[in-house]
Amino acid sequence: MKKRLLSLLLTASLAAGLLAGCGSSAGKSKDADSVDEAGGKTAMSVEGDDVTTLNVWTFIELHQKFYTTMAEKWNEAHPDKKVKLVLSNMQYDDMHNKLSLALESGKGAPDIADIELGKFPSFTAEKDIKLLDLTDAIAPYKDDVVQSRLDIYTKDGKPYGLPTHVGTTVAFYNTDLLQEGGIDYTAIKTWDDFKKAGIAYHEKTGKEFACAETTASWMVNLMLAQKGGDYLKEDGSLDVNNAKVAEVLHIIKDMQDAGALATVPGGQPDNEEAYPHYNDGEFAVQIMPFWQTSRFTSYMKDLKGKIAIAPVPKFGDSDATWTIGGGGTGTAVVASSPNAELAAEVMAFVKLSPDANKEVWNVLGFDPVNTSVWTDKDLTENPDNQFVQFFNTKPFDTLLTMQDGIGSLKSLQDEKAPSINNVMVTEVLTNIFDNGADIQQTLDDAQSELENEFAS
Amino acid sequence: MAEETVPMKQEKMKKGSHDTGKIAGLLVLFTVLALLIIAPIYALFVASWKPGEELLQYGLNLNPEFSHWGLSNYKLLFFGDHDYWIWFRNSLILTVITVLLTLLVSAFVAYGFSAYEFKGRNFLFVIVLAIMSVPFEVIMLPLYQQMSDWGLMDNYAAIVLPFLAHASTIFFFRQYLLGMPKSLIEAGRIDGCTEYGIFFKLIMPIMKPAFAAMAILNGMNSWNNYMWPLLVIRSSEKYTLTLGLNTLINPYGDNYSLLIVGAFFSIIPIFILFVAFQKYFIEGMTAGAVKG
Amino acid sequence: MKKLFYSQKAAPYVFVLPFVLTVLLFWIGPVFKGILLSFQDTMKNQWVGLSNYQRIMGDRIFWIAVKNSVKYTFFTLLLLIPFPMLFAVLLNSHLMKRPNLFKSIYFLPALTSVVVAGTVFRLMFGESDQALMNQLIGLFGAAPIKWLKRGDTGFFALLLLCCWRWTGVNIMYFLAGIQSIPQELYEAADIDGASKWQQFRQITIPLVKPTTIYVLTISIYAGLSMFLESFMLWKGNNSPNYIGMTIVGYLYRQGIEKRAMGYACAVGIVLLILVMVVNLIQLKVNGTFDSEEA
């Protein structure tokens, strides 16, 4: 009896699954107020014999809509070279692992894939690089694009990835809170000012000023680049325990000890556990890449109208660079794809053309990598734009101030970068700022562990 | 059970008050344990009614906080633009196929081991035991390469095939069948059944409780399987529920709205399976219990 | 031919054929291939002799992984055998009301996938003071803890996740074992005036030994090859200071994340040997072989 009931239930739920499955893929009844991302496959509705189908792998659902919008514009402008993008969205780690396995085995790879900056070097590490050299595709846009953002996906002078944004590191100040604490953020020019302001704020309000990162190194890398330091020697050998890295960590540690910084749950501002703490006003300042804008509008909604975007503090005028680009996704083309050349041309248009870069700001809220649009006030100060509405300063004024001072850490292009970053965010920073470990000792341990890893 | 009631009654009359204390004690102990075990699922249930984006703000905890409740997650689950139900359907199909085939093939093999004396039997059975203790993860990478060479990537066959003759299921069925009367086989032969006919017509019907027990265990494994499908499946329209749910966990912003409510819903089918088969489950497990 | 197929002599071979095929194709083949790969550097596509194994010996992270896996296995055995056995005995007692209801409840966690359970536990063990565990210790006046960042508390979370998922399953195994013990033995013991505790020690424990050995074997297997629990609890293979790194986690990191297939296979072979040796010792000590071959 029970068994019959069971099989009935199973059949019913199977049928429900089938129906619902078809319904949801065909119906597309988009929930109006949902900003959610879900995995899945999307295909453009372009048909015809002359249309080339290109498979694209992404790990951010939002990119899919952006790509299809831009590809439609491409098709309008190039009726002779129409393309149909078929996009698969996968989980972040999973997509990178599958891509590397597929490239390795030569089976099942897509034509185009988004590769995250932290993972990129492992795809260009081998002698026989399986991604397409994009020099020709980039050429039409090269002069307008921030060079340091092309460099991070470059190996031996050949670019393999198309950047999505600059990720200029900026300071986000909660002006409401700072006013209460008697702090004028516009007066913060140097890290010394930053520290003094932090101490004063903490003493007056009892709340925290900014965070000492333990699971990411946005601020650490920024300071290191300003100091002209890096994690590798000139010859590319490991050097994570050098004096400059130690100096930067000491500076941050001093700020922490003085009360200007504190650790935040989740370990960094761009973390699901951290957002509520910023949203509730327990922390007042974030030193983050520009794309943090999109986190404010999605996860820290209560801060609307309270956040100013300002240039990051410096050490002094002799700094090696003012700011750096942080994070990023490089779109790569698989060299063995039968349509590789076309794919490269299309994706360069989709990601680097001025039209595309307008879209990057409007839809994603990122700082566009094609700086020709930065001065387009109709775009950057459009009162209907949700990001313009959210912040109480003009976001692009800050970007333009620092435009000529956007550098990067050279080591990010090296194949050792993912491992170095991993050691930093899972061991070094947490040991120093959470557990109070000795800085030099911790760095020495990290160095020997990395040396061991790359010994063979 | 029926015979037991008589001594039970006598006992109760002898030391009734003493027993009441014990009954209450047991009840308290197991209720506390049950509450502890239910707590995370209850927390998941409560969270499924709260807005996903603000889950971390309110925390995953046991406070119902009805003021934050809303239907938005459930609306999203049933009417939203996502692939949850495709994953759900895939998992359901894959689980049903896996369980049916694995039970059939494993029972077939187990019958061979228990009903016949043949050369190499002990050797083969030692292999069954050995394979039970080889972690699948050891062969996972070479097997992946092999599947890739055979062109079985992105194919459900690659998920089902390696576990068709499932060592621990075979072991269990063999234990179960050792307790089967040999006379049944003899009777079958006299009736003119073929060797295979005996298995299909006479043996399979008496294995029902064992099937129930193994259906639950294999069903659980298949429904919740993650690592191997993760490696084998490439296209997102073939994702199973566990793979799909995991795409919602992303360094670029988790989709807790769908994740939490989807996670809660994913428990339901397998729970129905369990409740329906529970009686047979214990019976089957007992009959097939390891007898050393 | 057809006659042979139906003969009583050939039938057993036909019956076990699917097993033999599966084993050859999907187990022996890959194990053999894994052994071969473990002597290669797949990135450079060359034979490297024992150098992968030599590297393992001096690999600090590998040994952290081994330590974590062994510690985890040891504690799961310590917690997941005696307690479920005791609970099963109590549940089986005629004094127990509604045993089936409780059995269903205890089994519920095993029905949730690790993907779901790990996510729920990660959120429960969050750093915020709103997270369940911090609320709980807050009741006793303790300050919030960064549970998943510290070795001891992280391990506790992992162990709790495991106990939560498997207590109910092991109770079921033991219940099945206990119910196959003839009732007369207890009745006889009652008449002899043996206490319940004596009955538990003298009758139940020895007679459920086969079940205990079975649970022990699969627990060793599952403990040493644990990965997904850690993977989900730390939202990836990146726990701070490797507090959640396990042997299979390391195999995954090398083989999939770093594509060092040869090295990963060497790690796999070491794991295989470890599991085999531990289980052989365990089965030997328990004297299982003598009875199993009969």
Q: What is the pLDDT of residues C92-101, one digit of tens each?
A: 888 888 888 8
Which C residues 170-199 touch B at CB under 8 Å? 172-173, 175-177, 179-180, 183, 187
Which residues on chain B are in Cβ contact (under 8 Å) with C253? none
Q: Chain B within 8 Å of C116 (Cβ-Cβ)?
A: yes
Which residues on chain A are in Cβ contact (under 8 Å) with B76? 31, 34, 36
**Residues C118-140 pLDDT 10s:** 989 998 998 888 888 998 999 99
Q: What's the pLDDT band for B135 if we cut at 50, 70, 90? A: confident
Comparing CB atoms, the residue among C128, C241, C256 nearest residue A273 is: C128
Look up the CATH number of the domain holding residue A104: 3.40.190.10
Q: What's the Rg (C-alpha) of chain A?
A: 24
**Residues B94-127 pLDDT 10s:** 999 999 999 999 999 999 999 888 988 988 988 8
Comparing CB atoms, the residue among A215, A273, A456 nearest residue C55 is: A456
- Which residues are bridge partners to A288 per DSSP? A170
For residues B39 and B88, membership in a common domain is answered with no
Structure tokens at A267: 């370990």
Residue C96: the pLDDT is 84
Burial A26-46 (b: 16+ CB within 10 A, else e): eeeeeeeebebbbbbbbebeb
Structure tokens at B186: 């003899």
Alpha helices in chain B (DSSP H): 5-14, 16-47, 55-58, 72-79, 84-115, 121-132, 136-149, 156-160, 167-178, 182-190, 195-197, 204-206, 208-224, 227-232, 241-247, 256-287
Residue A42: the pLDDT is 73
- Tally of domains within chain B: 2
Q: Chain B within 8 Å of A127 (Cβ-Cβ)?
A: no
For residues A125 and A264, membership in a common domain is answered with no
Residue A200: the pLDDT is 96
For residues A258 and A341, membership in a common domain is answered with no
Structure tokens at A423: 């050691």
Domains of chain C: 58-293 (1.10.3720.10)
Is the pLDDT at C292 greater than 80, yes or no?
Answer: no
Contact A97, C255 (CB under 8 A): no
Helix (H) / strand (E) element for A159: namely strand A158-159
How many CB atoms are located within 10 Å of the residue A192 CB?
14
Q: Is residue B141 part of a domain?
A: yes
Angle (CA) B160-B163-B164 rounded to 5° is: 80
For residues B60 and B133, membership in a common domain is answered with no
Asked if B81 and A91 come within 8 Å (Cβ–Cβ), the reply is no
Residue B40: the pLDDT is 92
- Which residues are bridge partners to A154 per DSSP? A159
Look up the CATH number of the domain holding residue B176: 1.10.3720.10
For residues B46 and B139, membership in a common domain is answered with no
Structure tokens at B160: 């089902």
Which residues on chain C are in Cβ contact (under 8 Å) with A214? 149
For residues B127 and B27, membership in a common domain is answered with no
Which C residues 257-276 touch B at CB under 8 Å? 261, 264-265, 268-269, 271-272, 275-276
Question: Is the pLDDT higher at A194 or at B268?
Answer: A194
Q: Is residue B198 part of a domain?
A: yes
Residue at a domain's end among B75, B100, B125: B75
For residues A143 and A254, membership in a common domain is answered with no
Q: Is residue A356 part of a domain?
A: yes
CA distance A298 to A221: 26
**Residues B4-23 pLDDT 10s:** 444 444 444 455 567 888 88
ipTM of the complex: 0.84
Mean pLDDT of C57-74: 94
Which residues on chain A are in Cβ contact (under 8 Å) with B103? none
CA distance C214 to C216: 5
For residues A124 and A246, membership in a common domain is answered with no
Whole-model pTM: value is: 0.86
Comparing CB atoms, the residue among C146, C237, C241 nearest residue A427 is: C241
Check the CA dihedral A371-A375-A379-A383 and report its sign: positive
Long-range contacts of C131-134 (CB under 8 A, 24+ apart): C131/B59, C131/B60, C131/B61, C132/B39, C132/B43, C132/B59, C132/B60, C132/B61, C132/B62
Angle (CA) A404-A409-A414 rounded to 5° is: 135
Which A residues 361-420 touch B at CB under 8 Å? none
- Mutation for testing the C interface, residue in B44, B46, B139, B172 having most C CBs under 10 Å: B139
Is the pLDDT at B291 greater than 70, yes or no?
Answer: no
For residues B272 and B133, membership in a common domain is answered with yes
**Residues B165-224 pLDDT 10s:** 888 899 889 888 887 788 888 888 888 888 899 999 889 988 888 898 888 889 888 988
Q: For residue B17, what are the domain limits?
A: 6-75
Comparing CB atoms, the residue among B38, B131, B289 nearest residue C176 is: B289
**Residues B28-84 pLDDT 10s:** 999 999 999 999 999 888 888 888 776 767 767 787 778 878 888 888 888 877 889
For residues A173 and A289, membership in a common domain is answered with yes
Backbone angles phi, psi at A325, to 5 degrees: -85, 140
Q: Is residue A409 part of a domain?
A: no
For residues A216 and A307, membership in a common domain is answered with yes
Q: For residue A237, what are the domain limits?
A: 169-324+416-455
Residue at a domain's end among B41, B75, B109: B75
Residue A413: the pLDDT is 86
Is the pLDDT at C256 greater than 60, yes or no?
Answer: yes
Which residues on chain A are in Cβ contact (under 8 Å) with B53? 35, 298-299
pLDDT tens per residue across all 456 residues of chain A: 444 444 444 444 444 433 333 333 333 333 333 333 344 567 787 777 789 999 999 888 778 888 999 999 999 999 999 999 998 888 888 889 889 888 877 777 899 999 999 889 888 887 789 999 999 999 999 999 999 899 999 998 999 999 999 999 999 999 999 999 999 999 999 999 999 999 999 999 999 999 999 999 999 999 999 999 999 999 989 999 999 999 999 999 999 999 999 999 889 999 888 988 999 999 999 999 999 998 898 889 899 999 999 999 999 999 999 999 998 899 999 999 999 999 999 999 999 999 999 989 988 889 999 999 999 998 999 999 999 999 999 999 999 999 999 998 989 888 899 899 999 999 999 999 999 999 999 999 999 999 988 875
For residues A344 and A383, membership in a common domain is answered with yes
For residues A47 and A7, membership in a common domain is answered with yes
